[in-house]
Amino acid sequence: MKNEKTYELVLTALFTAIIVIMAFTPLGYIPLVVINATIIHIPVILGALFLGPKKGAFLGFVFGLTSFINNTFKAATASAFVFSPVLAVNVVGVSGIFRSLYICFVPRILVGVVPYFIYVLIRKAAGREQKAGRVLVNAVASVILFVSVRAFLLRLLPDNLSALACTLIGALAGVVLMAVLTISGGKRGSADIALSYAGLAGAFTNTLFVMSGIFLLYKDAYAQAMGVAGDAVLDVILGVVAFNGVVEAVVAAIIVTGVGLALTRVKPVYTKA
């Protein structure tokens, strides 16, 4: 018991150090031609899986803290205030403290909680329930891709593609993703699939909660910072989800699966929650 606690403490410290290093160096981002995919949330996801949701939540808090520090003291973008209560006060007043605290910390803490329960849901399900669970997760991922692709095309090519064409292309992307996830899910072991879905869930949790928080709490201020009309904010946010969100989710699924399978040879996934 003592050795196990020591091992978990060491692993927690290791994941914390990795998060900090990634956050304050270029190692936390993968350049993909047109965008940089964030991978800082991956140690949080792995921590949730191998240390449990409580320590995962702590690692998520560390992730949020590094985001707060970076955006407060570097403020590399015009929208940095959404992650910094200090800067938000100058933009929207005292209420900005609470708005930015939510956006900066709550989504990141959930990244350390949600993936664990998604893993458990997929891993422990059996027979018809397992298949139904996979279909549900596949469908949610496909719908998110459909909405995101449609919104991005409407914003990127408003004069070249009709709304119907954008809808059809988005629907096609969703159908293709559904088919790929279904086929790959039938060929791979439940452990592989559970790790992949945990990676997807963690990345999407971060993206969706952050971007929805920005829309609900900072719509007008965000529009002004980005130089767009207020009614175009939703399209901008869905465009971010379509590019960064989907790419980061795929990258997270791949890395979490690979690293997770390697770690399971040394330590099993946490099962005490």
Q: How far apart, in whole angstroms, are the C-alpha atoms of residue 41 and residue 60? A: 8
Contact 215, 4 (CB under 8 A): no
For the purposes of burial, counting CB atoms within 10 Å of the CB of 142, is it exposed (0-12), middle (13-18) or buried (19 or more)? buried
Q: Is the predicted pLDDT of residue 267 greater than 50, yes or no?
A: yes
Measured from the Cβ of residue 191, the count of other Cβ atoms closer than 10 Å reads 16
Task: Please report the pLDDT score of residue 160 as a whole number.
Answer: 62
Q: Is the predicted pLDDT of residue 33 greater than 60, yes or no?
A: no
Task: Please report the pLDDT score of residue 126 as a whole number.
Answer: 44
For the purposes of burial, counting CB atoms within 10 Å of the CB of 8, is it exposed (0-12), middle (13-18) or buried (19 or more)? middle
More confident residue, 242 or 98: 98
H helix intervals, the chain: 2-23, 41-51, 53-73, 85-92, 95-111, 114-124, 127-156, 163-187, 190-226, 233-240, 246-263
More confident residue, 112 or 222: 112
Please provide residue 97's backbone torsions phi and psi, each rounded to the nearest 5 degrees.
-60, -50
Question: Which domains are delineated in the chain?
Answer: 2-263 (1.10.1760.20)
Q: How far apart, in whole angstroms, are the C-alpha atoms of residue 36 and residue 28? A: 9
Q: 157: pLDDT confidence band, cut at 50, 70 and 90?
A: low
C-alpha dihedral sign at 5, 8, 14, 17: negative
Cα angle at 156 between 161 and 167, to 5 degrees?
Answer: 45
The DSSP output letter for 35 is E
What mean pLDDT is predicted for residues 37-60? 93
